[in-house]
Amino acid sequence: MNVTVKSTARARKKAAPGAPDNSRTGSDTQTELVQLLTPEGVRVEHPDYPLVTSPEELRALYRDLVLVRRFDAEATALQRQGELGLWASLLGQEAAQVGSGRAMRPGDYAFPTYREHGVAWCRDVDPLNLLGMFRGVNHGGWDPNEKNFHLYTIVIGAQALHATGYAMGITKDGADDAVIAYFGDGASSQGDVSEAFTFAAVYNSPVVFFCQNNQWAISEPTTTQTKIPLYRRASGFGFPGVRVDGNDVLACLAVTRWALDHARNGGGPVLIEAFTYRMGAHTTSDDPTRYRLTEETEAWKAKDPISRLKAYLEAEGLVDDEFLAGIEAESVALGLRVREGVRSMPDPDPTLIFDHVYAEPHTLVDEERAEYEAYAASFEGGENL
């Protein structure tokens, strides 16, 4: 697979920012990306998506990227050591998640899949709460309404409908907020996503659909999912679509900020396709060496989101050795906290599974609880089963 990433620093004619470009054919392989930071770390401008950032904001974005990657690496290691049942790594997708996550306002609401660890970080969800679900000790561990970050959704594409319904409710409430729904390129083939597009368009709902096109739906490449760039699907539903360099944290921030403002100001839904790459396995039960070439992965390493931002910061004199050492020390401390925290998580009481089947007491559930407790007690130490 040959991937061409083409900068859009030069001005070009467009009907409106983010509007679908219908002049291209489905076979056009030179589709342009919105890019503000090249793989070499050179800052460029885009006429439709300007971005003004302070040195403090840029350093904060770098910190986000480094710490999110460290947390993800620790989680992968913990699964390999038998401490987690499964893990879905975000390696390579940090910029797409941090950029879009930092574009949200406090009142905006995010609906993730099971891989949005970087967005969770931006919404102040404790990393240990994410790991609790993968360890099997809770079903999420955080209050979605406190963080404005929904629980992880394992069913592929279902959260797009949830997000659209929530956005329809925002409109009825007259609130000045927007919603963002995350999904992958594989999920774009699910009927739930198309249904969400239909309802969002018809009701002009304030929702941004954020597709992280990481090139692979487990072992199926994007070429088996669509004949046109994914962002162009939006035009068929009547709303704007934008393709952004998903390894460029600044471009992801600028485009998502624009899309959320467009949605909350009555413009209706937007589809963002973050063109990125899944550097690791789909999950820790997957072996990507069985279906993709090493050369492809190596080519994408040159587009690494952390390396390009670091190169820019160093070239502009915005960071020094002391700052970088401080981030590294913070990264090590986070890794230690994650390892110790996961291993010390208490096992939940197995009978809790019966507590919330119904809102009110139920005779059948009470009978099943009693039967299970008697069964567990029949074993030595059965109270801990």
Out of 46, 232, 278, 308, which one is annotated catalytic? 278
Alpha carbon of 123 to those of 228, 316, 345: distances in Å? 33, 29, 22
- The reply to whether 278 belongs to the active site is yes
Structure tokens given for 354: 């019966």
Residue 212 bridge partners (DSSP): 184, 274
Could you give the count of Cα atoms lying within 13 Å of 266 in the half-sphere of its Cβ?
A: 1
Ramachandran area for residue 250 (φ above 0: left; ψ -120 to 50: alpha; else beta): alpha
Q: Measure the CA–CA gap between 55 and 63, rounded to whole angstroms.
A: 12
- The reply to whether 291 belongs to the active site is yes
Out of 80, 291, 343, 362, which one is annotated catalytic? 291
With the CA atoms of 205, 210, 211 and 214 taken in that order, what torsion angle do they form, in degrees rounded to the nearest 10?
180
Q: Measure the CA–CA gap between 129 and 111, rounded to whole angstroms.
A: 16
Q: Measure the CA–CA gap between 90 and 371, rounded to whole angstroms.
A: 42
Out of 232, 233, 282, 308, which one is annotated catalytic? 282
The full DSSP string for 6-24 is ----S----SSTT---TTS
Structure tokens given for 245: 């360099």
Catalytic positions, written as ranges:
278, 282, 291
